[in-house]
Structure 1
Amino acid sequence: MLYLERVCDKGYARSESSSYHTTITQLDRTPLVSIIVPVYNVEEYLPRCLDSLVNQTLKDIEIIIVNDGSTDNSQAVIDRYDRVYPHLIKPFLKENSGAADTRNFGISRATGDYIGFVDSDDYVAPDMFQKLYEKAVETDSDAVVCRYYRISERLGSRIPNIIDKSAFGCSVVEKPVIILDSRPYLCNKIFKRSLIIDNGFHIPSLRLCEDAAVVYPLLLAANKVEFVDQPLYYYQVDRAESSVNTYDNRFFDIFKAFDIIRDFYQKHGGLQVCFDALAEQCRIIIFIRLRALRYFKDRKFVNLFIRTAYKYLNTRFKGWRSNPYYKNKPEYKKYHGMMRLFFSNRLFLKFYLFILSAIKGGSKDGGMKQGLIPCIKNTRIGGLLFWLLGRSNRQARKFAKFYENKELLENHIFYASFRGEEFSGNPYAIFRYLYNHPDMRDFRHVILTDNKQNPRVIPYLNDKRVIIVSPSDDNNYAKYSETSRYLVVDSSLSPYYIKKKEQVYIHTWHSTLLKTLGSDTDYIWETHNLGKSLLDSDYFVSPNRFTSERLFKAYYCDALYKGKILELGYPRNDLLIHANKEDVRKLLNIPDGKKLVLYAPTWRGTVTKPVKNSDILIKHYESIKSGLGDEYAVLIKLHHMSEKYLMRNQKEYVAPLDIETNVLLAAVDILITDYSGILFDYLITRNPLILFPFDKDEYLLHRGGNKDFYLDLNDIPAVICHTSDEIVDTIRNIDKIAGKKQAYYEEFAKRFVGNDDGRASERVCDIVFRGKDAISACDFSDKQKQDLLIIVDDLDDLRITSRLLSFLDNVDYDKFNVSVWLNSIHSNRTVQRKFNRNVKMFYKSMRFMCLNFREFKSVRRLLKNGLTTDAEKLGGFFRRNMNRNFAGISFDISVYYTGKSELYSMLCLQGIDADKKVAYWHGEKPLSTFKFYDEIVSTNNKELPLDGIAGKTVSRDAFESNFARKP
């Protein structure tokens, strides 16, 4: 018998308050899946959980709800659902005995072919159990695993990475990495009931890691473990009562759990082959708890757990520090940076925890760096050292220096493609045109690139007309970006870049929009620097009206933009139109008579959390290639955000980097893509197009937001396929299938690439460099509206933010454009998400930019002493730091809403060009700068104790009524 722990007889009974339904239908029906839901004091979350279960697309299920003696109203919730769904729900009430015992009770009452578990504070996708069950039956697997979302009210949702998806479909002994990729939870899995019952598996009565203690033995006992590559379970991680957030002596149950696991694997012959994977999983769980020790005040307990943890790892999993999963895997190499050093030795760890405990007011989420750095910076010498030695401060000084002190280099053009990560697309096409044109030979070209071996850079390395600058070369990056007369950018520049009035900034962007961006996702703060780049531009080169309208709105720039929009087509498409197809085929070694198929998927994830593993994309490519056989040549072209994370052995699959993407498209007979803007450029060829949105739901969840795509995928003149086999069948019949969409194809192409005729570069250069007149293709600004800027530097004071939210909800947005400037992208994001959707949000870009030490000292004195003669000399500092966001932009009214900081007050007074300046006073000690405002808005009934402001004070209601919607 595979014995872990027996369930004791507790005298369980079906809930007496529930009617016992025993219809003939129920008695005859054998459920396909039994879903066990243990319940204890979760009345707030339980309805959401049960709603997700009673609405499952798999109908032949039973939902076994076991109330473990809840003292709240959970039983009333269970009774309500039992009355409505008696054919699905089997409710039970028992005395409290803990989660493990409750689940064991549920197992003993289960009758389904498979068993799944759902925690009552979590919820599941509508098709979770259908997909898991179908995968189990299709593959005859004892266990099936799916991906899941970690849901946090503070941090949002994320999907944990998988190391090796291809390992699934095997047994754990064949592929031990399954241990790591399955995760130590019951809730994202189903198991064959016979596997559990016939082998006597029970969940041990532990207070922590009881899931892991049965999950890993079950995985070993399973004939094989299959995988559904979709996140179907929603795991709530930040409920206060959750074991994830519990910090007490139950920590020691980790060692009991892994004793059970290790002994089971040793008994059944799996320990030797699975040792590294088990050791790594044990280390992960222990390290999570070691990090949590910073919240303990009992130092005796902390030291005991540290000593026990390292002794356990050193004895039960010898050699864990050199474990290949921990040491070599790319996913783990990056493990919390310096944290890996601290956690590798218990003495280092004790030092780390001692430092943290000594820091007052440190962030609970932060760790040593977030807690320690502010303490040092707040000292006089520490602040100076950080300002002198910190790289960000060095960068800020360099850009400030060249912004303030250097004349423009009139014949220099600065190019930045994808922030210097590439040299391609529109900047490259414009460079090619200018470099090769006879009347432009006097220009010097400055290329920002982090790769001098880029095939498009190598020919110019020793060219006197070309200067190559690395993004990491702070001095030259600042020098040439701040002093070049012209800039050609397709994304953004350093957050420290400040546009000079005399500079000419050409923003070309890099795609017609399909996937949502900026404020249309949940991650505007990740890409807010793009909004700054758009506002900086004098000319925005657009392929079509569709892109112009949506891009500027997504980054809140539509109402404030003062430049000209040139809808002239894309310069990079000149490369496509003028490329010789046969020459490109020869470069690719494509034999005559073979059709070329290109698979060009976009990247996954978000800017700060990109999905680095491209295995699934490579797998689809290989499947398509093998399915088509020798009749076709098949290449894959990845987005540069994916390419940079490729393993060395994967790079052999990718189309040659020395061929620019749009040149490559000229040779392609059939394009396969998903959500990439490359499909719009490809319309120029009029060749067949296939969409392959195999992971649409997961992709959209990563991005979040209030809409899926800017276009319905069904409105694109492409065949939509969901498997690689479908793609192969479609390509074999492409002429017949694609022909049905040909009429609409022409109409669609005219709408999106109708401006592309091979002369876009020439038209842009005629306007920018030859002085040809240009009329903006569209003007987003509404001259009838007033522009209001609100500066906020504290979103954590709920007394103030509640008033702000109320104000923003009552503004008449038909009469006012409202922009809010926040002091950080990290400012209380819960409050940010509550801002009225009409509000345009901007952020302070990184740290403040001081020109020199004298200025640095003056800023610190302002913060400490208020307005002095010394502080009044900081006009350049204030204008410089606000010009980073709003260079050349003026407002009708600027408001300093927080009213607490002399520094931010002066930014409003001297850094912003506005006809009227207003500050709020919330009752604290008034700022010395208040006397310079046109009005002070009082939110209380106190009299403002400050000379020189007579007649300037107005009530909050009186001031805000000027902006409110009229009844």
Structure 2
Amino acid sequence: MQTPTVSVILTTYNIEDYIYRCISSLQKQSFQDFELIVVDDGSTDSTLARLERHCRYGKNNYTIIALPENTPGGVGIPANIGVSAARGKYIAYADGDDWYEPTMLEDLVAEAESIEADIVIANFRNYDQLNKTIEIPTDDKRLSELAAMPRDKMSEIEFKSQVLRLNAVPWRKLYRTDYLTQNSIAFPEGNFFFEDNPYHWASVIKAKRIGFVDKVICHHRFNRPGQTMASTGRELLWFYDHFSTIEKWLNTERLQDDYGLQLVGWVVGQTEWISGKIRPEYWFDLFDRLQGIIAHYTREDAVRALMMRGTGRYGWSLVSSVLADDKMAFAHAIRFRDEDVSRRLKQVLDELDILRRRVADITRRLDVNEKMTSAAALMEMVEKRSSAR
């Protein structure tokens, strides 16, 4: 059997309403030299039956690995199982509730081949399943800037520090398989979610060449029932377990001096995001997790990390309250975050209104002065003509 160029690892779990669109978008790829490896993580609905029916009519090689029961945590274990069965030169990941542009694989492979990249990262769009709206991801502009930026403008550490700030999700990327194997890069396995973050850090830092595709190749469905990213409870605190995983890896690879402060900035950025989602009864738990991490660093290093990241006022408020060991100030910052934004917006609008009225008043005065000047000139002309007569 001929070795495919790409192995697409598709993980699924109880997504019967969405799997058809995902499979169809993969079967319609303009680049057809790929194998599809589906790992179903013990679905209890009709996902597996629909997979078998849809894949049967596909044009590509496909393998369905049906796990007997749902594995602990998120996609880490199923994804690793899929990779172990892969034969392709490159690995691509897909979520069963997302869908993909027809040229996704073609664009990713073309970029990888042109620069011999270890990783290629592309752009995407979020689709809000609840509100039926399309949202631009927060790192859209950053990816575009990285894609257009000459590589000699930054050092390797500066460049990779910027790449690390991109969304960690794997389904927007293409990975060279032997590169992953040689560096022992795999998803951490355990009873937790968000395991794509350590994978992102290891794969980006170890890469010799990183390519970009500044096109939307994927449509990520979020805000749907049963989805991890729709969580609002304690499970969001699992992000902080991954801090320990990444920190240990940096120490093992002797990279702590190069990327340690970036990791602190990453934690603060995650805290800003989590604090907007997690329920109020877990705010103090969130405080404790952040404080436990900040305690690893001196106050000076924490400040340097925030300055390097360009952290905004809200992030500074959270960290300041942690450094002061003030849980109430931490909770207050979260509670009134939206109100602060609204108040600042109202202040700006009020200032604009004052400026508008001032401009209108100045314009009116100028108009009056102009009229007065014109009238005086007319009277002077009449008087001169009268004198001449």
Q: Shared fold by TM > 0.5?
A: yes
Q: What are structure 2's unaligned runs of at least 5 residues?
A: 368-389
* 3-state SS, counterpart of residue 38 of structure 2: strand
In structure 1, the partner of 2:5 is 32
* Matching of residues 479-628 of structure 1 within 5 Å: 479=361
Q: Rg bigger for which structure? A: 1
Cα separation, 1, equivalents of 2:47 and 2:169: 24
1:123 aligns with 2:107: no
Contact 1:172–1:224 (CA under 8 A) maintained in structure 2 = no
Change (3 A) 1:317 1:246: farther
Select 2:56's aligned residue among 83, 108, 130: 83
Q: CA deviation at 1:199?
A: 3.6
2:126, 2:222 within 8 Å by CA — same for their partners in 1?
yes
Deviations 1:736-791 (A, max 9, x none): xxxxxxxxxxxxxxxxxxxxxxxxxxxxxxxxxxxxxxxxxxxxxxxxxxxxxxxx
**Residue 338 of structure 2 corresponds to which residue in structure 1?**
367
1:185 Cα deviation from its structure 2 partner = 1.8
Distance of 2:84 and 2:155 partners within structure 1: 26
- The residue aligned with 1:109 is 85
Residue 207 of structure 2 is matched in structure 1 by: 222
Structure 1 Cα separation of the partners of residues 214 and 298 of structure 2: 31
What's the secondary structure of 2:171's corresponding residue?
coil
**Which residue pairs with 2:289 in the alignment?**
308
The corresponding residue for 1:783 is none
1:393 positional shift: 5.9
AA aligned opposite 2:113: V
SS in 1 for 2:196: helix
Q: Matched residues in 2 for 1:475 and 1:78: separation?
A: 64
Contact kept in structure 2, 1:45 and 1:122, CA below 8 Å: yes
1:327 aligns with 2:311: no
Residues 208-247 of structure 1: matches in 2 within 5 Å?
Answer: 208-247=193-232
Q: Distance in 2 between matches of 1:227 and 1:246?
A: 30
Alignment-mate amino acid for residue 55 of structure 1: K
Compared with structure 1, are the counterparts of its residues 141 and 391 closer, same or farther at alpha carbon in structure 2 (3 Å cutoff)? closer
Q: Which amino acid aligns with 1:303?
A: F
For the pair 1:58 / 2:31, whether they are aligned, the reply is: yes
Deviations 1:640-699 (CA, angstroms, capped at 9, x unpaired): xxxxxxxxxxxxxxxxxxxxxxxxxxxxxxxxxxxxxxxxxxxxxxxxxxxxxxxxxxxx
Helix, strand or coil at the partner of 2:193: coil
In the other structure, the counterpart of 1:192 is: 176
**Aligned ranges 1:950-965 → 2 under 5 Å:** none
Q: Which residue of 1 aligns with 2:135?
A: 157
| Pair 1:473–1:48, CA change in 2 (3 A) | same
1:73 is aligned, of 23, 43, 46, to 46
Cα deviation code 1:249-297 (max 9, x no counterpart):
333322321222222222223221223333322321233223333x23x
The 1-side partners of 2:266 and 2:78 are apart by: 26
Partners of 1:303 and 1:249 lie apart in 2 by: 11
Of 185, 189, 192, which residue of structure 2 is paired with 1:205? 189
* Alignment correspondent of 2:377: none
Structure 1 residues without counterparts, runs of 5 or longer: 1-26, 360-365, 374-388, 397-471, 486-967
Matches of 1:129 and 1:249 in 2, distance apart? 36
CA RMSD of aligned residues (A): 3.4
Q: Note closer, same or farther for the CA distance 1:484–1:127 as it changes in structure 2 (3 Å cut).
A: farther
Change (3 A) 1:260 1:179: farther
Distance 2:289 2:106 in 1: 43
Residue 474 of structure 1: how far off its partner (Å): 4.1
Match of 2:205, SS state, is helix
Q: Read off the aligned partner of 2:268 and give its amino acid letter.
A: R
User: Is the alpha carbon distance of 1:277 and 1:339 closer, same or farther for their aligned partners in structure 2, counting shifts above 3 Å?
Assistant: closer
Q: What does the per-residue CA deviation read over 1:805-848, in whole Å, with 9 as the maximum and x for residues that have no partner?
A: xxxxxxxxxxxxxxxxxxxxxxxxxxxxxxxxxxxxxxxxxxxx
% same residue = 17
1:194 and 1:477 map into 2 onto residues whose CA distance is 65
Counterparts of 1:482 and 1:342, CA distance in 2 = 48
Q: Which amino acid aligns with 1:97?
A: T
Residue 133 of structure 1 is matched in structure 2 by 109
Alpha-carbon distance between aligned partners in 1 of 2:178 and 2:201, rounded to the nearest angstrom: 17
Structure 2 counterpart of 1:132, one-letter code: L
Tell me how far 1:246 sits from its aligned partner: 1.2
Aligned residue identity for 2:95: D
* 2:236 is the counterpart of 1:251: yes
Structure number with the bigger relative contact order (C-alpha 8 A, sep ≥ 6) is: 2
Contact conserved, 1:343 with 1:349, CA < 8 A, in 2? Answer: no
What letter corresponds to residue 237 of structure 1 in structure 2?
A: F
Aligned-partner residue type, residue 138 of structure 1: S
Q: What does the per-residue CA deviation read over 1:386-407, in whole Å, with 9 as the maximum and x for residues that have no partner?
A: xxx96756876xxxxxxxxxxx
Three-state SS of the structure 2 residue aligned to 1:187 is: helix
8 Å contact kept, 2:124–2:215: yes
| Residues 284 and 327 in structure 2, CA contact (< 8 A), matched pair in contact too | no
Cα–Cα, structure 1 residues 60 and 345, in superposed 2: closer, same or farther, change >3 Å?
A: same
SS at structure 1 position matched to 2:296: helix
Q: Is the 8 A contact 1:290 1:306 kept in 2?
A: no
Q: Secondary structure at the match of 2:64?
A: strand
The alpha-carbon distance between structure 1 residues 172 and 100, as it changes in their structure 2 partners (threshold 3 A), is farther
Deviations 1:560-586 (A, max 9, x none): xxxxxxxxxxxxxxxxxxxxxxxxxxx
Contact 1:176 1:277 (C-alpha < 8 Å) held by counterparts: no
Deviations 1:26-53 (A, max 9, x none): x2x2111111111001112212211221
Q: Is the 8 A contact 2:23 2:55 kept in 1?
A: no
Q: TM-score, length-normalised on structure 1?
A: 0.34
* Secondary structure of residue in 2 paired with 1:176: helix
Residue in structure 2 matched with residue 867 of structure 1 by the alignment: none
1:72 and 1:350, CA in 2 relative to 1: closer, same or farther beyond 3 A? farther
Q: Aligned partners of 1:69 and 1:291: how far apart in 2?
A: 32
Q: Tell me the amino acid that sits aligned with residue 135 of structure 2.
A: S
Question: Deviation of residue 71 (structure 1)?
Answer: 1.3
Q: 1:179 to 1:317 in 2, by over 3 A?
A: farther
Q: Deviations over 1:876-928 (max 9, x none)?
A: xxxxxxxxxxxxxxxxxxxxxxxxxxxxxxxxxxxxxxxxxxxxxxxxxxxxx
Asked whether the 8 Å contact 1:167–1:177 carries over to 2, the reply is no
1:858-877 map, 5 Å: none
Shift of 1:118: 1.2
Distance 2:271 2:348 in 1: 34
- Structure 1, residues 486-539: CA drift from partner, whole Å, max 9, x if none? xxxxxxxxxxxxxxxxxxxxxxxxxxxxxxxxxxxxxxxxxxxxxxxxxxxxxx
Structure 2 residue aligned with 1:176: 160
Q: Match of 2:358?
A: 476
**Relative to 1, partners in 2 of residues 1:482 and 1:77: Cα closer, same or farther, differing over 3 Å?**
farther
- The Cα shift of 1:316 comes to 5.5
Write the distance in 2 (CA, Å) between the matches of 1:45 and 1:208: 21
Task: Tell whether the 8 Å contact from 2:15 to 2:97 is kept in structure 1 after alignment.
Answer: yes
Q: 1:228 to 1:123 in 2, by over 3 A?
A: same
SS in 2 for 1:58: coil
Tell me what 2:387 maps to. none
Alignment of 1:317-396 (within 5 A): 319=300, 321-323=302-304, 326-327=306-307, 332=310, 335=312, 337-338=313-314, 340-346=316-322, 350-351=328-329, 353=331, 367-369=338-340, 392=349
> Which residue of structure 2 aligns with residue 723 of structure 1?
none
Aligned counterparts of 1:266 and 1:390: Cα–Cα separation in 2: 47
Equivalent residues, number: 353
Cα pair 2:160 2:205 within 8 Å, conserved: no
Partner of 1:41 in structure 2? 14
In structure 1, distance between residues paired with 2:5 and 2:150: 26
CA distance in 2 between counterparts of 1:210 and 1:131 reads 26
Find the aligned partners of 1:287 and 1:395 in 2 and give their Cα distance: 29
The TM-score with structure 2 as length reference comes to 0.78
Q: 1:356 to 1:255 in 2, by over 3 A?
A: closer
SS of the residue 1:202 aligns to:
coil
Structure 1 residue 220: deviation in Å?
2.2
Shift of 1:172: 5.4
Q: Kindly provide the amino acid, as one letter, of the partner of residue 197 in structure 2.
A: A
